[in-house]
Amino acid sequence: MNYLTCSLLNDEEIKTIKKDLNFSNKNWEDGKKTAGRHAAEVKNNLQLNRKSDISQKYTTFIINKMVSNPLIKSFSLTKKIHGTMFTKSKRGMKYGTHIDNAYMSTGRADLSFSIFLNKKNSYGGGELVIENINTENKFKLNEGEIIIYPSTYLHSVEEITNGERLVCVGWIESYVKSIEEREYLFDIDAGARGILAKYGRSDELDLIFKSYSNLLRVLGN
């Protein structure tokens, strides 16, 4: 399982965030400012100044929501979240195919995420396209939902044909670098927790949780 999608923000939280962002027009700037040299050539969007009070306020809020989400913790094995960035794309804007930087100023980027902040039928286009070796997957989620995917994949955002696309993006450093090893650990954890919920605690289940924890010790960094 290379991607995870789940609900992160409720309706009231989204409403508050969007209201505050709408009052921060002076803090939106050209997205090229934070892109690498190669990515800057294909990046055409707006982003909230990361040093602004509103950006820092909601960066803290989003990180707290993510680290307290059991599904996200199990999937990503989060070691550090390298901040967040709020981006806005209007009609005609897009972000061409690119790869995220391997290292951010605060550490390695193993996973990338996007949190969708407006209804998917409120704008045209704007699909997040993630490329794998032989496949191309498009995502356009409901507001408040997050997608987490490997930072090693090429990806892009299709051109906005109408309306406005508002998302929060960021990067995660995981305790486990390998995509495959994270998937194995996630499957074990999900399966064990499913058995616990269905049948309750058992000596056999204790052995599974023991093996999971010890595998994480071996594979983690």
- Whether the predicted model's global pTM rises above the 0.85 cut: yes
User: pLDDT tens-digit profile of 143-154?
Assistant: 999 999 999 999
The pLDDT value recorded for residue 174 is 97
Same domain, 196 and 135: no
Please indicate, yes or no, whether residues 18 and 80 belong to a single structural domain of this protein: yes
Same structural domain for residues 108 and 9? yes
Q: Which domain holds residue 188?
A: 179-219
What kind and span of H or E run contains 98? strand 94-98
For residues 100 and 29, membership in a common domain is answered with: yes
Instruction: Extract the residue ranges of the chain whose pLDDT is less than 50.
Output: none
User: CA end-to-end span of the chain, whole Å?
Assistant: 21
The count of domains in the chain is 2
Q: What is the spatial distance between Cα 3 and Cα 147, in angstroms, rounded to a whole number?
A: 7
Residue 40 shares a structural domain with residue 106? yes
- 56 and 147: one domain? yes
- Judge if 129 and 214 occupy the same domain: no
Please tell me the predicted confidence (pLDDT) of residue 164. Answer: 95
- Say if residue 156 is in the same domain as residue 189: no
d(CA 121, CA 166): 12
pLDDT tens for each residue of 152-179 = 999 999 999 999 999 999 999 999 999 9
